[in-house]
């Protein structure tokens, strides 16, 4: 596919990154723009954000706003691990497949991927890696990183997170959560952000905002300061410290200081469920797995996949045992009913 062809394709369902910025967040940016403010997080907006984070995640929580999710993950894992440490993850984890080897190249981190059917690690996966704990010839498994929600559109329940965290902590191993889509997970579970992080035993969180209506706004949230060291220094030398930090903080404050995070995520989840249901009613189309968050994975006939991909920029995520392609279709805070109807009609005509 040429660049010209790619530009002609509708990107609406390619990712939740294709949506614009929530109007509420644009308004928040406008409100902090007229006045001067101290740089590097010494501004009143970032100060207010710190208080909201403590209310949301617990009194010990600290937040370090950063530019992007890759930066949040790399800074978090560097702060959690000594130089000889490695991080256990799922083979499907974003940090393992979609970070351009940033953990390895920038963070000098070794990842220990575990094969999973659902994209979710279990306590058994943690225990299986402990065989090398104390073995000098192996990188030491001293962190676990969980993706919430996963790249397969699955969600860890609070109990599942607690089981993994308990297994990790029993060996002195820290727990990181890649929460690029944590809002979608919490909305799907009907729980608070604290219930699937601090209360479940997570030590450090990459808090996602960009996929849920923000613009280049992510953060490292330190939930257990006793397990991490030097994260603020690591953020600086990892080129993730913003001088005009109030513009990142204002977005996160608008998202997580109100119910905007839940409203946006709930809408995206509901639209994905609606899209998946409508497609599954077409002849020959089935859902390869239940739609839990804002991603749906229909298994479609070859001619349907070809018709959709002629008009839409979408990913062929897998090949089913039937030989038919499985598409990944993402919805966002901005996905409307008319967009869903147009894609379903495209598939129906095929």
pLDDT at residue 2 is higher than 60? no
For 288, the domain range is 3-19+261-349
Q: Is residue 74 part of a domain?
A: yes
Shared-domain flag, residues 235 and 222: yes
Q: Tell me which DSSP letter residue 204 carries.
A: E
SS3 of residue 207 by DSSP: strand
- How many C-beta neighbours within 10 Å does residue 288 have? 19
Strands, E, within the chain: which ranges?
62-66, 85-90, 110-114, 140-147, 174-179, 204-208, 218-222, 286-287, 295-296, 298-299, 315-319, 325-330
Which CATH number do you get for residue 275?
3.90.1150.10
**pLDDT tens string 69-125:** 999 999 999 999 999 999 999 999 999 999 899 888 988 899 999 999 999 999 999
pLDDT at position 5 is 52
- The pair of structure tokens assigned to 111 is 């990842």
SS3 of residue 84 by DSSP: coil
Higher pLDDT, 350 or 24: 24
Q: Is residue 237 part of a domain?
A: yes
pLDDT at residue 322 is higher than 70? yes
Shared-domain flag, residues 7 and 110: no
Shared-domain flag, residues 125 and 67: yes
Shared-domain flag, residues 108 and 237: yes
Which pTM was predicted? Answer: 0.94
Query: 166 pLDDT band (50/70/90 cuts)?
Result: very high
The whole-angstrom separation of Cα 246 and Cα 250 is 6
Which CATH number do you get for residue 246?
3.40.640.10
Beta-carbon contacts of residue 143 (< 8 Å; ≥ 6 apart): 77, 80, 81, 85, 86, 87, 88, 168, 173, 174, 175, 176
In whole angstroms, what separates CA 224 from the centre of its chain?
20
pLDDT at residue 4 is higher than 70? no
CB 279 within 8 A of CB 290: no
């Amino acid at each position: 596919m040429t660049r010209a062809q790619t530009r002609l394709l509708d990107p609406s369902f390619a990712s939740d990154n294709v949506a614009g910025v929530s109007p509420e967040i644009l308004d928040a940016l406008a409100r902090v723009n007229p006045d001067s403010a101290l740089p590097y997080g010494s501004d009143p907006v970032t100060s207010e954000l710190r208080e909201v984070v403590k209310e949301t995640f617990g009194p010990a929580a600290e937040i370090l706003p950063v530019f992007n999710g890759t930066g949040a993950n790399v800074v978090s894992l560097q702060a959690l691990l000594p130089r000889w440490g490695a991080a256990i993850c799922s083979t499907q984890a974003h940090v393992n497949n979609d970070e351009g080897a940033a953990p390895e190249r920038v963070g000098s981190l070794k990842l220990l991927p575990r094969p999973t059917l659902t994209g979710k690690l279990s306590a058994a996966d943690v225990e299986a890696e402990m065989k090398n704990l104390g073995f000098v010839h192996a990188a030491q498994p001293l962190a676990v990183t969980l993706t919430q929600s996963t790249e397969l559109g699955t969600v860890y329940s609070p109990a599942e997170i607690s089981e993994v965290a308990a297994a990790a902590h029993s060996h002195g191993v820290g727990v990181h959560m890649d929460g690029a889509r944590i809002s979608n997970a919490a909305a799907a579970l009907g729980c608070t952000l604290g219930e699937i992080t601090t209360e479940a035993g997570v030590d450090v969180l990459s808090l996602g905002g960009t996929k849920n209506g923000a613009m280049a706004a992510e953060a490292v949230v330190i939930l257990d300061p006793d397990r991490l060291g030097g994260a603020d220094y690591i953020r600086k030398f990892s080129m993730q410290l913003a001088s005009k930090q109030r513009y990142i903080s204002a977005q996160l404050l608008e998202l997580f200081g109100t119910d905007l995070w839940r409203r946006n995520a709930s809408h995206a989840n509901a639209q994905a469920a609606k899209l998946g249901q409508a497609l599954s009613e077409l002849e020959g189309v089935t859902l390869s797995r239940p739609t839990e968050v804002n991603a749906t994975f229909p298994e479609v006939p070859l001619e349907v996949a070809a018709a959709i991909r002629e008009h839409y920029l979408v990913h062929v995520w897998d090949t089913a045992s039937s030989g038919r392609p499985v598409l990944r279709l993402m919805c966002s805070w901005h996905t409307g009913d008319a967009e869903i109807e147009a894609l379903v009609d495209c598939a129906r005509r095929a």
